[in-house]
């Protein structure tokens, strides 16, 4: 079974992540996600990304992070391409955090236009420092641009793992819902945003992201 599914219906493209485990953002998962996003953009769709019940994603493949080397570098490069693809996506981007969302997955939430989260015993956070990794320059730019200022120190420096209510306050999420209501509400939100004037949305979104996009382009080279 594929770890990623893409369905397009009535102007909304849904990308579901489900590898049966932590939805690790391996290079293969990232490449598949980028290809699905390109297909959704070609179809001029609003975009909804969600995970499996209980887990949006644990972030990058931890084994590759720990081992380093060319495979890790290639995975990180694919993650950088995802960052830019999310910022450059030509339509609305909605994400439904179906459970845990750590590290790169939490950064994905920061780049979406609207983020819905499942209420429950889930953790959302930036754990780079906790696993012995200095926060990359590009990641710090995203955290500084999108997190509530009073939470930046706790999230980026102290690697605090947040519950969904804290994640809502910190700026990872816009709305909390019972898990059984999450996808229905996320689909409704995607349809609502898809109905807005697409040209105006696209151009305003570009203006909104312009400063961060410029800074990231400089970091990525």
Q: What is the pLDDT along the chain (221 residues), one digit of tens a residue?
A: 469 999 999 999 999 999 999 999 999 999 999 999 999 999 999 999 999 999 999 999 988 888 889 999 999 999 999 999 999 999 999 999 999 999 999 999 999 999 999 999 999 999 999 999 999 999 999 999 999 999 999 999 999 999 999 999 999 999 999 999 999 999 999 999 999 999 999 999 999 999 999 999 999 98
Asked whether the beta carbons of 94 and 114 are under 8 A apart, the reply is yes
Instruction: Please report, for the chain, the start and end positions of each structural domain, with discontinuous segments joined by +.
Output: 4-220
Position of tokens 């060319």?
70
Global confidence as pTM: 0.97
pLDDT at 67: 86
Q: For residues 101 and 163, give the distance between their C-alpha atoms in angstroms, rounded to a whole number.
A: 10
pLDDT at 1: 44
- What CATH homologous superfamily does 4-220 map to? 2-enoyl-CoA Hydratase; Chain A, domain 1 (3.90.226.10)
Give the contacts of 115 (CB within 8 A, at least 6 positions apart): 94, 95, 96, 97, 109, 172, 173, 174, 175
Q: For residues 132 and 159, give the distance between their C-alpha atoms in angstroms, rounded to a whole number.
A: 10
The two three-digit tokens of residue 137, written as one number: 């320059």
Quickly list H helices, the chain: 27-42, 62-67, 70-88, 104-111, 137-146, 149-152, 164-170, 179-194, 198-220
The two three-digit tokens of residue 125, written as one number: 């956070």
pLDDT at 65: 86
Largest CA distance in the chain: 46
Give the contacts of 170 (CB within 8 A, at least 6 positions apart): 147, 148, 151, 154, 155, 162
Compute φ and ψ for 177, nearest 5 degrees.
-145, 155
Q: For residues 149 and 115, give the distance between their C-alpha atoms in angstroms, rounded to a whole number.
A: 18
């Amino acid at each position: 079974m594929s770890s990623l599914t893409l369905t397009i219906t009535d102007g909304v493209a849904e990308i579901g992540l489900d590898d049966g485990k932590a939805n690790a953002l391996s290079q293969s998962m990232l490449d598949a996600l980028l290809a699905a996003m390109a297909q959704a953009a070609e179809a001029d769709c609003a975009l909804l990304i969600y995970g499996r019940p209980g887990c949006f994603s644990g972030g990058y493949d931890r084994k590759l992070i720990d081992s380093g080397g060319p495979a890790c570098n290639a995975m990180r490069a694919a993650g950088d391409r995802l960052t830019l693809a999310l910022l450059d996506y030509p339509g609305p981007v909605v994400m439904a955090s179906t459970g845990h969302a750590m590290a790169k997955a939490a950064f994905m939430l920061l780049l979406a236009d609207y983020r819905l989260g499942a209420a429950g015993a889930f953790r959302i956070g930036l754990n780079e420092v906790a696993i012995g990794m200095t926060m990359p320059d590009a990641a710090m730019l995203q955290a500084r641009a999108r997190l509530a200022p009073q939470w930046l120190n706790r999230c980026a420096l102290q690697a605090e793992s947040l519950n969904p209510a804290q994640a809502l306050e910190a700026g990872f999420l816009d709305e909390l819902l019972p898990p059984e209501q999450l996808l229905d509400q996320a689909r409704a939100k995607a349809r609502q945003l898809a109905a807005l004037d697409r040209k105006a949305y696209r151009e305003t979104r570009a203006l909104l992201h312009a400063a961060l996009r410029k800074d990231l382009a400089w970091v990525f080279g």
